[in-house]
Amino acid sequence: MAPDGDPRPPTMVLPADDPLIIRRLNKLAGERGMVVVSADEAEGTPSVAVLNLDAVGSLSTARTWHEQWPETLVAAYSAVPDRELWLGAQRAGCDLVVNRGALVVKLTERLRDAPGGRALHRFPLFDAADAAGRLGCVFRTEDTPVGPLAVYRVEGRMWAVADRCPHAGAVLSTGEVEGTVVTCPGHGSQFDVCTGDRVRGPADTEVRTYSLVQDGGQVFVVLPG
């Protein structure tokens, strides 16, 4: 996103090829006051970048975009119901992973409450030094615009997860973590903290995850709007 006071309009990076999707995204961008660009043309940080997961090298592109533009909402889509591909996209940092037919509707929903095309913003969490050398749950808070959050360090990086179980609201961060999986202390549901995926019930839905950014020694969570 453009920083506060930046006169540049918000931008949307379009996929390289997919004429029908590109036409629909052009319409959505126009309605949101966004300028559409290709990935090569993008200057600064785009508000939104849309990735076709069925393109060659898409996961590598997703990782590059996530590192290059941590505050960009990366929306990935695929026409193929490939669970591994979708998980890979989530792990690569995509904020939205949907099937091709649902892309524009889901993206429109995510942008609906984003004033001025501002898709994402930062909310400060903690000093990175406080989590140095620790594993598992390294931070928790009740107080963010999206409610309680927990941050885990697993697989060599940190991940932010909503800190309430979708089954009956137990505090997930008090549950045990093994590998990338946290077990809810309420009734034993399990979730992958990297993707939010439900591994085991009784919960019947995933838990929400969020992107993190480190800047100047501070860890921020990246939130909608």
Applying CB under 6 A, the residues found at the interface with ligand FES are: 165, 167-168, 170, 184, 186-189, 202-203
- The minimum distance between CB 191 and ligand FES, in angstroms, equals 9
- The minimum distance between CB 171 and ligand FES, in angstroms, equals 9
Number of H-type helices and E-type strands within the chain: 4, 15
Return the number of the residue (183 or 218) whose C-beta is nearest ligand FES. Answer: 183
Return the number of the residue (171 or 213) whose C-beta is nearest ligand FES. Answer: 171
Spatial distance between the Cα atoms of 120 and 45, rounded to a whole number of angstroms: 11
- The minimum distance between CB 180 and ligand FES, in angstroms, equals 17
Query: Taking Cα atoms as reference points, which of 110, 218, 219 lies closest to residue 159?
Result: 219
Q: Which residue is nearest to ligand FES (CB)?
A: 186
- The minimum distance between CB 124 and ligand FES, in angstroms, equals 28
DSSP notation for 19-78: HHHHHHHHHHHHHHTPEEE-TTT--S--SEEEEETTSTTHHHHHHHHHHH-TTSEEEEEE
Return the number of the residue (15 or 186) whose C-beta is nearest ligand FES. Answer: 186
